[in-house]
Amino acid sequence: MGKTDYHALMPAASNPLSETLHCDSCPVQDSAACSRLDAPQRQQLEMMGRGHIYQPGDIIFHAGDDNRQCATLISGLLKIVDCDSNGVERIITLIHPAGFVGELFAPLNRYDIVALNIARICLFPRADYEKMLNESPELTQGLLRRALQSVEDNQKFLALVNRRTAQEKVAGLLLALAESSGSAPCQPNPHVELCMTREEIAALLGITMETVSRQIGKLESAKLIKRAGAQHIDIIDHDGLQGLVE
């Protein structure tokens, strides 16, 4: 990842792209952890946090850093990355809008959190956020729903990668991305934006970049999908893809 991580390296307070929050116009105001707050509480959160914009490749939280912030993803896509000693990248999971990142009650960040897309997040000082959790049952309940959703997402992802062939993994990923970018879960978006290099897809699915490429090629020959540039794929036969993953 040769991308600049310029913004991430600056202290949040002096980040030139930091801006005040405007929850009223927030696209995830109904689904994020803060969705159950009443007006005064929401205002309190607004004062507590700052909005930030990250570019693809920017590192939002560094593994090993002491963990003083947490955040809600407003738009874009993040990856949680486990980088081992040899520099082999292992993507633990993806974070979609409304997702919450930053571990509470833990001293250090265990993983890198990196933007795949242009990502808008609201960033909170962790201490303030935890304090507010103690005062606001609504925030706690909202975050609980988020956390349960994360558990579910992780379990689905485990089912996608464990004990599956390369073809099943690639097909399953395309379907998952189509669903997550669709207007509703039952209305998947046939135009899939990967937001990832082949290498990143490989790190996510636990296979190699060459295999990813070959499998995408096979799916295209089988007329299930169509490539439209490296990062974009059109799903032609959704049911056919679904059939590959059962």
Q: Which is nearer to a second copy, 91 or 174 (CB)?
A: 91
Query: What's the rounded Cα separation, in Å, for the pair 186 and 177?
Result: 13
Which residues within the stretch 1-60 sit at the binding site for DNA (CB under 7 A)?
A: 2
Q: Which is nearer to DNA, 150 or 167 (CB)?
A: 167
Site string for DNA, 148-167 (x = CB under 7 A): -----------------xxx
Which residues within the stretch 171-210 sit at the binding site for DNA (CB under 7 A)?
A: 197-199, 206-210
Give the nearest distance from C-beta 141 to a second copy in angstroms.
5
Which option in a second copy, DNA, none does residue 62 bind, with CB closer than 5 to 8 A by kind?
A: none
Look at residue 227 and give its three-state secondary structure.
strand
Question: Is position 103 an interface residue for a second copy (rule: CB under 8 A)?
Answer: yes
Which option in a second copy, DNA, none does residue 198 bind, with CB closer than 5 to 8 A by kind?
A: DNA
Burial group, residue 239, by CB count within 10 angstroms (0-12, 13-18, 19+): exposed
Q: Which is nearer to DNA, 14 or 86 (CB)?
A: 86
Q: How does DSSP classify residue 25? A: G
| Choices 19-27, 120-128, 134-142, 229-237; region in contact with a second copy by CB under 8 A | 134-142
CA–CA distances in Å: residue 244 to residues 157, 166, 190, 194, 219: 16, 11, 17, 19, 10
The span from the first CA to the last CA of the chain, in angstroms, equals 35
Strand 78-83: give its sheet, edge to edge: 59-61, 112-115, 78-83, 89-95
Binding residues vs DNA (CB under 7 A): 2, 165-167, 197-199, 206-214, 216-217, 227, 230-231
